[in-house]
Structures are given as C-alpha cells and as structure tokens.
Structure 1
C-alpha cells in the first residue's frame, strides 16, 4: 500500500492573499463549489484532475525560520522571464544560483517569505 499527496499546506498570516499570489504563479484555481474569500480560515487552489493542490491556512504567527520544505517550479517560458514575472507579482529574489553557462536556479520568496525555486524550463534543459 502507498499514500498519495492530496495537497501541500502553507501556514499563512493572510491565506486568501497568499492563495491569490500562488494562483497567479501556477494558474491553479479555486474549487467552483467552494470559492475562496478573505474571511475564510482556509483557502484552496488546485490544478484539477486529481493532482495535488495548495491549501493556505490562517495562523496567528508569522514565518520566522527557513522552510524545511519548498516548491520547485518549472516555467513554460524561460527561467529568467519567469523570475521577472514573479517579481512583478510581489515575489523577491532570495538567492541567485544562475551560472554563466545558463544553468542554475533562482530561490525566491513569496509575499509571506516562503522560499521556492524557479528552475530552467524543459526547453532550456533540452527536454522538449
């Protein structure tokens, strides 16, 4: 027997705002029967089709230490174009691991300081 991942859960000061940020990052949407709202304690977005979604739960305390788990995202565009798009959405660059030969990744922070990495696209890795 095995278990499957249903969702990845984030503690958040403002789960609604964070769900809106990540919806723009991923293209995930709220469940049509359970729309998200600023007053909700839990806000969910997902890709549908039985794949894991992202759940944001309001907690009273802010983030204080490095995440022990983080998301790695692969853009449809180039890594560098995606970094610029995410900066415009409110993310910040935390650590830049890009190398002169075009390899590497960028560690970013979402609006509440959660780390995530932007990898090269499949095309940049020669996988398409």
Structure 2
C-alpha cells in the first residue's frame, strides 16, 4: 500500500490549492479549475499530493493532524516570512534564543502547519 494523497477538507479547494502551489512550487492539476469540489496539488513522485475537498462545515477546532515543512532553499525564518507574504498567518512562535524551534502558521482557511529549521542550515 502507498500513501497517495494528504486530503484537506476546506471551503474553497481551488483557493487553498493555489496557496499551497505557491508555497511548495508544486503544480495544481491541469484538469482542476476554480469552482471544482476537489482540487489536487501534484507533488513530485514519490511524495503524495495534497488533495483539497470542499465541505459545507467550517473549521472549528485545532487540527488533529498537521503538516511540518522543512525549508530546502531558504532559512526557516526567511521561509516563514515568504509564506506569510503568500497569505499565511502567524499562529504560534516556538523559536528559541539558540536558533532552534519551529513556527506554527495557519493557511488562508485557518488550518495549522509548521515550518521547521532547514536541515544543515542556520535558522535566520
């Protein structure tokens, strides 16, 4: 068995798919368009894609599962600034004085995700 997608319930699948496409550099499926009830952000193989599915109910509590992202081309702090500029909101800052830690953000619909320190990179 393989993990095919990470699925996210949301109000506007195309909007969130576009946000995550900008964050990751991955492409929105070319068969998906605004107004669709399901929109896929295709990840490079063998990484699972992120599938956004429209649901009628709004998010009301903290996520039970969230994604932790590790920057590959920027520092953690530069990546946090970039993702906030794309529409994320700062939720909790767990950075420490010694440069360790992570930052919890929320995507445009309020779902939490974290940005960790990049592997082998300084935090700032």
The TM-score with structure 1 as length reference comes to 0.90
2:29/2:39 contact within 8 Å kept: no
| CA distances 1:67-91 after superposition (whole Å, capped 9, x unpaired) | 0100000112000001100110110
> Which of 107, 110, 113 does residue 110 from structure 1 map onto?
107
RMSD of aligned residue pairs (Cα, Å): 1.2
Provide structure 1 residue ranges, at least 5 long, that are not aligned to the other structure: none
Give the corresponding residue for 2:25. Answer: 27
| CA distances 1:25-78 after superposition (whole Å, capped 9, x unpaired) | 11111234x2x2112110001223232000000111110011010000011200
- The structure with the largest strand share of the pair is 2
1:46 aligns with 2:42: yes
Give the corresponding residue for 2:92. Answer: 95
Q: Which runs of 4+ in 1 moved over 6 A?
A: none
2: CA distance, partners of 1:93 / 1:50? 30
Aligned partner of residue 27 in structure 2, secondary structure: coil
Give the corresponding residue for 1:65. Answer: 61
2: CA distance, partners of 1:53 / 1:7? 5
Aligned partner of residue 86 in structure 1, secondary structure: helix
The TM-score with structure 2 as length reference comes to 0.92
Provide structure 2 residue ranges, at least 5 long, that are not aligned to the other structure: none
1: CA distance, partners of 2:43 / 2:54? 21
2: CA distance, partners of 1:123 / 1:48? 22
